[in-house]
């Protein structure tokens, strides 16, 4: 006996096509040759993770940035993020809004660009007092080494910037000084900071001779930071980069150094920060590279 299904007339129906294995989305990246090439290179040398490609929605620039952020995370990134709020991006232009900005006709040029999203906050006063008890010229020496090392990659805002701003305000108010209240930044700088810094050799010697364990640790950390900064060769600003940055504001500070909380240095920083974004700020660091010869 035939099954009931075999006795029923077949009805007209539509066959829905299957897309299994067929890409449902295609992306066109005009002028992204350099990013694509760098992404390929990172894959070839086993630095990039293929699974990131789908996560970044097949964007070559985002793929390179994800790879770089993972590499940073494996090489001290967690320690950096505890103290600094930095953003590293990849771009084919230093400043895309600059009149001089032009896409690279060869499709080889890329830039790694470092910007701070906020300034790290350092209260130097207690450390300077600790070192002053060991040697009268240690505070100025430590400060010089510490800020000099950080300045290799980040803009430091400290009493020197605050004093420059106060001097500018005095020039603007010339003849009408009594109508304005101008902060006494110089008066907030500790006396120990006005002494001549020692040489690095003297700093090493005093670090070994210091009677306080805390002072020894501070000096050792400053010397280690100095050694690390000496290994950094800051890329030169090319004429092309300089043209793009000609109309930019100064870089945003990556570190604010004060002597005590809410001192006049911090007050000048707060006032000046209101206008820091009126024009596009320069990056703290620009690293140019050729995507075909990284």
- The vertex-48 CA angle with 43 and 52, nearest 5°, equals 115
What Cα–Cα distance (Å) separates residue 199 from each residue in 4, 134, 202, 205, 206? Answer: 101, 16, 5, 10, 11
Kindly report which listed range (174-183, 265-274, 282-291) carries the lowest average pLDDT score: 174-183
Which pLDDT band holds residue 201 (cuts at 50, 70, 90)?
Answer: very high
Between 170 and 137, residue with greater pLDDT: 137
pLDDT at 294: 64
pLDDT at 30: 44
Determine the average pLDDT of the residues in 166-195: 86
pLDDT at 28: 47
Please compute Rg for the chain using Cα positions: 28
Quickly count: other Cβ atoms within 10 Å of residue 16's Cβ: 6
Q: What is the pLDDT of residues 91-131, one digit of tens each?
A: 888 887 766 556 555 668 899 999 999 999 999 999 999 99
pLDDT at 214: 96
Which pLDDT band holds residue 25 (cuts at 50, 70, 90)?
Answer: low
Give the contacts of 21 (CB within 8 A, at least 6 positions apart): none
Which pLDDT band holds residue 172 (cuts at 50, 70, 90)?
Answer: confident
pLDDT at 13: 55
Determine the average pLDDT of the residues in 270-284: 93
Give the relative orientation of helices 138-150 and 125-132 as an angle to the nearest 10 degrees: 140
Query: Does the pLDDT of residue 37 top 60, yes or no?
Result: yes
Query: Does the pLDDT of residue 135 top 80, yes or no?
Result: yes
């Amino acid at each position: 006996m035939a099954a009931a299904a075999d006795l029923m007339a077949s009805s007209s129906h539509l066959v829905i096509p299957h897309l299994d294995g067929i890409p449902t989305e295609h992306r066109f990246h005009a002028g992204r040759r350099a990013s694509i090439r760098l992404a390929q290179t990172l894959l070839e040398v086993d630095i990039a993770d293929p699974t990131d490609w789908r996560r970044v929605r097949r964007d070559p620039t985002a793929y390179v940035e994800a790879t770089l952020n993972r590499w940073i995370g494996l090489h001290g990134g967690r320690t950096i993020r505890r103290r600094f709020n930095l953003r590293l991006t990849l771009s084919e232009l230093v400043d895309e809004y600059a009149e001089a900005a032009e896409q690279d006709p060869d499709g080889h040029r890329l830039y790694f660009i470092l910007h701070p999203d906020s300034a790290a906050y350092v209260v130097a006063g207690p450390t300077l007092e600790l070192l002053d008890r060991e040697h009268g010229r240690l505070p100025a020496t430590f400060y010089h080494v510490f800020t000099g090392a950080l300045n290799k990659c980040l803009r430091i805002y400290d009493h020197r910037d605050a004093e420059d701003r106060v001097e500018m305000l005095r020039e603007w108010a010339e003849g009408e000084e009594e109508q304005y209240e101008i902060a006494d930044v110089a008066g907030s700088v500790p006396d120990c900071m006005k002494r001549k810094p020692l040489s690095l050799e003297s700093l090493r010697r005093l670090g070994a001779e210091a009677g306080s364990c805390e002072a020894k640790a501070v000096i050792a950390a400053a010397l280690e930071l100095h050694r690390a900064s000496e290994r950094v060769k800051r890329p030169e600003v090319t004429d092309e980069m300089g043209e793009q940055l000609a109309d930019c504001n100064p870089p945003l500070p990556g570190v604010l150094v004060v002597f005590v909380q809410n001192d006049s240095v911090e007050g000048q920083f707060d006032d000046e920060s209101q206008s820091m974004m009126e024009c596009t700020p320069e990056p703290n660091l620009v690293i140019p590279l050729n995507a075909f010869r990284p």
